[in-house]
């Protein structure tokens, strides 16, 4: 008899295999590294800290800095080593022995963590235009309530959606928030820097709404592995029970501190990414056989006649993108990250040579 739980054995590995390329546009990373001058400040501060001492028990100092940056009460901020860690913690908080409701396709960890932690998973397909089917989510939620009125769970809604890039409206989120009392409604805002608005007002009005944010995308700090939840004080207090003590390192806290002090750098970079995204979308709209979907993130989803052929042709040209055609409803689709202007030019030139 195996000592490993069947749910773990049955779970697939995380669906990503790293591949190198001169132009790497496959992981939705920021196009530019964190500025060297700011790295130097962070390293200088880190050198002055005692390395033999544990960091804050629950990253209290960092939580206060995040709170000041976000305009959120410090008691409701829960930092973690990446927002992906918080996804598993949200399932552990309200989904074990209960339910997880989300859309499909979506970020793989919603479903993977639900299965690994023994939650009942319900996935609602996206609409034909790859927008979030909020009516479908509401119907699924009502069906789950009828099935087991005393059992709650977690609803995960990415905003904007990955990998489609679509943006569920705040009005539709309000409908979902009003219908999901007794559950946790987790709005994953990993890409919120690239959107025209955010769901922070929704979270202020509804104590069962939790926002997830990260430094991996807009901030250009994917290597730092730092994210946080913004939640009502009581939800945050319970969530902290699932965080390991001293779980966020002094280095993470110091780098974040420096980043927040120089937020103008972030705003400049976001403006360039959004401008480049629109330039790429306009160019791709003229492609003879590819369809580009509207995006509110730092990537574009493209439907091609043959994703394998498109991916291989781009890679032969030195440009790496991400195949998405194995996901439900995304036959023929590839995803390209918005890179630097030069990287985007290389991609567009290569894409123009792929006829089908």
Is residue 234 located within the same domain as residue 323? no
Cα(266)–Cα(270) distance, integer angstroms: 6
Contact 327, 105 (CB under 8 A): yes
Peptide bond into 160 cis (omega under 30): yes
Average pLDDT in the 201-211 region? 98
Average pLDDT in the 328-348 region? 98
Average pLDDT in the 53-81 region? 98
The pLDDT confidence band at residue 7, using thresholds 50, 70 and 90, is: confident
Tell me what percent of the chain is helix, strand and coil, each rounded to the nearest 5.
Answer: 45, 15, 40
Cα(215)–Cα(225) distance, integer angstroms: 7
Contact 210, 185 (CB under 8 A): yes
**pLDDT at res. 20:** 84
**Percent of the chain residues past pLDDT 90, beyond the cut:** 93
Average pLDDT in the 64-72 region? 98
Global pTM?
0.96
Say if 10 falls within a structural domain.
Answer: no
Is residue 214 located within the same domain as residue 328? no
Q: Is the pLDDT of residue 1 over 80?
A: no
Say if 8 falls within a structural domain.
Answer: no
CA angle (344 as vertex; 342, 350 as ends), nearest 5: 105
Query: Domain ends where: 200, 232, 261?
Result: 261
**pLDDT at res. 19:** 80
**pLDDT at res. 161:** 98
Q: Is the pLDDT of residue 67 over 80?
A: yes
**pLDDT at res. 35:** 96
Strand partners for 23:
319
Q: Considering only CA atoms, which of 80, 75, 90 is closest in space to residue 187?
A: 90
Say if 12 falls within a structural domain.
Answer: no
The pLDDT confidence band at residue 8, using thresholds 50, 70 and 90, is: confident
Is residue 204 located within the same domain as residue 318? no
Is residue 55 located within the same domain as residue 104? yes
**pLDDT at res. 9:** 87
Cα(329)–Cα(105) distance, integer angstroms: 8
Distances from the Cα of 58 to the Cα of 78, 239, 240, angstroms: 8, 11, 7
User: Could you identify the residue written with the tokens 């060297």?
Assistant: 36
Q: Considering only CA atoms, which of 264, 286, 245, 250 is closest in space to residue 37?
A: 264
Q: Is the pLDDT of residue 18 over 90?
A: no
Query: 153-158 and 99-104 as β-strands: parallel, antiparallel, unpaired?
Result: parallel
Say if 200 falls within a structural domain.
Answer: yes
Distances from the Cα of 356 to the Cα of 155, 176, 313, 346, angstroms: 38, 40, 10, 18
Q: What are phi and psi of 303, to 5 degrees?
A: -100, 125
Query: Domain ends where: 261, 280, 304?
Result: 261
CATH code assigned at 126: 3.40.640.10
Is residue 66 located within the same domain as residue 202? yes
Is residue 26 located within the same domain as residue 171? no
CATH code assigned at 343: 3.90.1150.10
- Report H helices in 95-191: 108-116, 134-147, 170-179
Q: Is the pLDDT of residue 242 over 70?
A: yes
Is residue 69 located within the same domain as residue 185? yes
**pLDDT at res. 224:** 96
List pLDDT tens digits, range 152-194: 999 999 999 999 999 999 999 999 999 999 999 999 999 999 9
Residues of 107-137 as b/e, b for ≥16 C-beta within 10 angstroms? bebbbbbbbbbebbbbbbebbeebbbbbeeb
Average pLDDT in the 2-27 region? 87
List pLDDT tens digits, range 81-131: 999 999 999 999 998 989 999 999 999 999 999 999 999 999 999 999 999
Average pLDDT in the 11-15 region? 81
Is residue 159 located within the same domain as residue 274? no
Query: Domain ends where: 261, 292, 325?
Result: 261
Contact 84, 70 (CB under 8 A): no
Strand partners for 80:
227
Q: How many domains does the chain contain in total? A: 2
Cα(75)–Cα(92) distance, integer angstroms: 20
**pLDDT at res. 317:** 97
Cα(6)–Cα(259) distance, integer angstroms: 42
Is residue 234 located within the same domain as residue 296? no
Is residue 280 located within the same domain as residue 193? no
What's the start-to-end Cα distance of the chain, in Å?
51
Is residue 43 located within the same domain as residue 166? yes
Q: Is the pLDDT of residue 264 over 70?
A: yes
Distances from the Cα of 289 to the Cα of 332, 352, 354, 355, angstroms: 11, 10, 9, 7
Query: 99-104 and 120-125 as β-strands: parallel, antiparallel, unpaired?
Result: parallel
Average pLDDT over the chain reads: 96
Query: 322-323 and 333-337 as β-strands: parallel, antiparallel, unpaired?
Result: antiparallel
Q: How many other CB atoms sit within 10 Å of the CB of residue 150? A: 7
Q: Is the pLDDT of residue 318 over 70?
A: yes
**pLDDT at res. 341:** 98
Is residue 251 located within the same domain as residue 322? no
Domain that holds residue 319: 20-34+264-352
């Amino acid at each position: 008899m195996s000592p490993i739980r069947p749910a773990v054995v049955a779970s697939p590995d995380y669906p990503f295999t790293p591949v190198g390329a001169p132009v790497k546009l496959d992981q939705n990373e920021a196009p530019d590294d964190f500025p060297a001058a700011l790295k130097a400040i962070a390293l200088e501060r880190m050198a002055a800290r005692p390395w033999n001492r544990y960091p804050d028990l629950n990253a209290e100092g960092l939580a206060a800095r995040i709170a000041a940056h976000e305009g959120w009460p410090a008691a409701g901020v829960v930092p973690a080593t990446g927002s992906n860690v918080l996804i598993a913690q949200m399932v552990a908080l309200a989904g074990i022995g209960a339910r997880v409701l989300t859309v499909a396709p979506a970020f793989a960890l919603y479903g993977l963590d639900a299965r690994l932690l023994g939650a009942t998973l319900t996935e609602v397909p996206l609409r034909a235009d790859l927008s979030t089917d909020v009516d479908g989510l509401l119907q699924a939620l009502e069906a789950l309530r009828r099935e087991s009125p005393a059992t709650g769970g977690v609803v995960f809604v990415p905003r904007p959606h990955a990998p489609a890039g679509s943006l569920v409206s705040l009005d539709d989120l309000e409908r979902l928030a009003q219908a999901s009392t007794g559950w946790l409604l987790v709005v994953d805002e990993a890409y919120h820097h690239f959107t025209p608005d955010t769901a922070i007002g929704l979270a202020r009005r509804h104590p069962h709404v939790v926002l997830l944010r990260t430094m991996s995308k807009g901030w250009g700090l994917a290597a730092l592995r730092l994210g946080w939840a913004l939640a009502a004080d009581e939800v945050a207090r319970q969530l902290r029970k699932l965080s390991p003590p001293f779980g966020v390192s002094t280095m993470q806290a110091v780098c974040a501190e420096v980043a927040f002090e120089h937020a103008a750098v972030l705003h400049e970079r976001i403006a360039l990414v959004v401008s480049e995204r629109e330039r790429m979308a306009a160019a791709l709209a003229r492609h003879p056989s590819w369809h580009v979907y509207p995006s509110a993130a730092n990537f574009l989803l493209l439907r091609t006649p043959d994703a394998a052929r498109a991916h291989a042709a781009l890679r032969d040209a030195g440009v790496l993108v991400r195949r998405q055609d194995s996901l439900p409803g995304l036959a023929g689709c590839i995803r390209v990250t918005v890179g630097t202007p030069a990287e985007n030019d290389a991609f567009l030139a290569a894409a123009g040579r792929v006829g089908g």
